[in-house]
Amino acid sequence: MTCCLALATGIYGGIQGGGFARFFEDHGSVQDIVARGLGFGIAAITITGQRELLSNEVLALAGIKPVDSLIFLNAQTVRKRLVAAPMIRSADVRKLYPNQLVIAIRERKADAVWQRNGEVSIIAGDGRRIDKMRDQRYARLPFIVGPGANKRFHEYRKILSSAGHLRSKIRAGALIAERRWTIKFKNGLELKLPEAGPAPAMALFASLDKKHDLLDKDLILADMRTPGRFVGRLSAEAAARRSGKSAKKPKRKGGAA
């Protein structure tokens, strides 16, 4: 009786003040107000399974509001909202009467950072876009660039695995024309890999680097697109130094160049 009287008084006051819609926005529907008055409000929410998402982010995705009541909350609807979010792989929602809600989620693992047309996103291992890159939490992840690069991340993973001791020196992988990879190293060197067999080519480059310290040779470009052939290009400064040394070489006696 007390609950009903309070409800009637609140609604009457809302109508009189012209704030009918605001009243229900602040206090929920009539059925939610009554349910809370009977002790079926949501007093405690337990969320498990999140690694990256914060609890308030999960509740926002679930569409749960403080004015909701447990008895009229549709657990199946909440679950559908959650799994519709790219970051969430699966969700389980249980109501424990009279006033507790338990949410268990399983997130998709963030496996790479993908840049396309200036937009930077987080993607899962299967290439699915999870979310925009909003902070530096994911800066440690592999970085790929270009249209379609997300769908071929499995291929880029193999390239990274083949890089051996050079893996930590790789800054990004750029998919060129959705056909082949160019590896960008932190020192500025770009390595063009073949369309077929990019991982073995990466392994060969790593082997050559161990023998010849290629990353310390002032190379700005290494081209391995043609099987069995390695083409390197020096920086302008290094090329000038080499040219200067060649020009200073003395001519052999007899006038032969």
Is 1 among the domain residues?
Answer: no
pTM confidence score:
0.69
Same domain, 117 and 71: no
Same domain, 78 and 120: no
Is 13 among the domain residues?
Answer: no
pLDDT in tens, 157-178: 999 999 999 999 999 999 999 9
Is 165 among the domain residues?
Answer: yes
CATH code of the domain containing 87 = 3.10.20.310
Same domain, 124 and 194: yes
pLDDT in tens, 73-108: 999 999 999 999 988 999 999 999 999 999 999 999
Q: Which two tokens stand for residue 182?
A: 């160019």
**Under 8 Å CB-to-CB from 223, ≥6 apart: which residues?**
192, 230, 231, 232, 233
Q: Which two tokens stand for residue 61?
A: 């995705």
Same domain, 91 and 189: no
Same domain, 57 and 137: no
Range of the domain at 116: 112-241
Q: Strand pairing of 143-145 and 112-116?
A: parallel
DSSP states of 74-111 as a string?
-HHHHHHHHHTSTTEEEEEEEEETTTEEEEEEEEPPP-
pLDDT at residue 244, as a whole number: 64
pLDDT in tens, 17-54: 555 556 445 555 667 677 777 777 899 999 999 888 88
pLDDT in tens, 206-227: 999 999 999 998 899 999 999 8
Distance in angstroms (rounded) separating the CA atoms of residues 11 and 7:
6
Count of the separate structural domains present in the chain: 2
